[in-house]
Amino acid sequence: MPHTTAALLSTPATAAALAFSSRHNLCRGGRIPPPPPPPSFSALFCCQSPDFHNSSSLFSSMESFWTGRGIMKNKAMVELLLTYGVVRSKKVAQVMEQVDRALFVPEGSPPYVDSPMPIGYNATISAPHMHASCLELLTNHLQPGMHALDVGSGTGYLTACFAMMVGPQGRAVGVEHIPELVATSIQNIEKSAAAPLLKGGALSVHTGDGRLGWPEHAPYDAIHVGAAAPEIPKPLLEQLKPGGRMVIPVGNIFQDLKVVDKQLDGSISVRNESSVRYVPLTSRDAQLRGF
Ligand SMILES: C[S@@+](CC[C@H](N)C(=O)[O-])C[C@H]1O[C@@H](n2cnc3c(N)ncnc32)[C@H](O)[C@@H]1O
């Protein structure tokens, strides 16, 4: 049975998790705490959570399914995500195994810790569980031949995953407004399993304001937004294909990961998947203030 927010907040483990999360600023691209881990893993956030697969949770939010640097291999990270039930489909497991996260985190950062990591320019690479969750939510809209847009593509990790899923007949487009991150993301992708798709033109990353989408390759079957918008940007709704799905964090301090479905008749339905914390989808100037 799902726990209430009040009940969760009353457990010492939850309080500790929240205190840790706010002290360590781990709240970028994360969600509610996990079920207890297998005994061999140390997890600071081990309180019982609401059923996050079913989560229209009011509970805000954390963040790490495991901590510590003990996970040394991408495959082991994916296996943990499977253990925790964050990865549920073969397709998502496969693509996360193929696209090694280590190629996308800055040198010196532990690649397989379940936490967002700074990538410079007041931006982060999202936590592995958040990448996995978004891939699971979009998996039916990332079939071979489909078009996918990754707004706020940062390191290029998810854009690469999208490209692998939609394949050479499809289109994966990243839009990021920091040109230096675009350049780094292209270098990252060139080292990854998605390199041939970049070379062949099925994958591209562009510098631009992602709030405007990328009309050239619209309409999109799948749109992922990797930063929190105050509201759903209209151009993104317009560029979503009938039958398509967008996953987007919306809000300021309190944010919900929203799943936006455009029906075949063009009508829109929106539901809250979970409470999350992302960096804002904003202007370049606002993001770089104080950097
Ligand atoms: C949490 S990071 C996620 C990056 C990516 N999903 C990853 O894991 O590498 C959010 C990204 O959104 C970018 N961003 C914020 N506002 C944007 C905007 N208006 N247009 C394009 N990118 C934006 C930031 O620069 C940052 O790279």
Residue pair 77/93 in contact by the 8 Å Cβ criterion: no
Nearest atom, ligand 1, residue 283 CA: 19
Q: How does pLDDT run across 156-171, given as a tens digit for each residue?
A: 999 999 999 999 999 9
Across residues 183-204, what is the average pLDDT? 98
pLDDT, tens digit (0-9, with 9 covering 90-100), for 16-25: 333 333 322 2
- Give the pLDDT band of residue 33 (cuts 50, 70, 90): very low
Distance 36 CA to ligand 1 centre (A): 31
Q: pLDDT tens for residues 105-152?
A: 999 999 999 999 999 999 999 999 999 999 999 999 999 999 999 999
* Sign of the dihedral through C-alpha 41, 73, 171, 167: negative
pLDDT score recorded for residue 197: 98
Whether residue 126 lies in the annotated active site? yes
pLDDT bin (cut points 50, 70, 90) of residue 71 is: confident
Q: CB neighbours of 92 closer than 8 A, spacing ≥ 6?
A: 132, 135, 136, 139
User: What is the β-pairing status of strands 203-207 and 171-176?
Assistant: parallel
Q: Which domains, from first to last, does the chain contain? A: 118-288 (3.40.50.150)
Q: What is the mean pLDDT of the chain?
A: 82
Give pLDDT, residue 107. Answer: 93
Confidence band (pLDDT; 50, 70, 90) for 255?
very high
Which of 115, 176, 224 has the most ligand 1 atoms within 8 A of CB, as the residue to mutate? 176
pLDDT at 11 over 80: no
- Amino acid letter, residue 15: A
The pLDDT of residue 68: 61
Which amino acid is it at 61?
Answer: S
Closest CA to 184 of 156, 224, 162: 156
Q: Is 154 in the pocket of ligand 1 (CB under 6 A)?
A: yes
Asked whether the beta carbons of 30 and 62 are under 8 A apart, the reply is yes
The closest of 195, 145, 152 to 171, measured between CA atoms, is 145
Q: Which two tokens stand for residue 169?
A: 């007949």
Q: Ligand 1, residues 103, 149, 150, 177: which to mutate, most atoms within 8 A of Cβ?
A: 177
124 lines ligand 1 (CB under 6 A): yes
Instruction: Select which of 49, 64, 126, 204 is catalytic.
Output: 126
Atom of ligand 1 nearest to the CA of 150: 6
Answer positive or negative: Cα dihedral of 164, 71, 110, 80. positive
Q: How far, in Å, from the CA of 287 to the mean position of ligand 1?
A: 10
Residue of 187, 170, 188, 182 whose CA lies nearest to 206: 182
63: pLDDT confidence band, cut at 50, 70 and 90? low
d(CA 193, CA 175): 20
The proportion of the chain whose per-residue pLDDT surpasses 90, expressed as a percent, equals 74
Give the model's pLDDT for residue 9: 29
- Cα dihedral sign, 109-162-165-30: positive
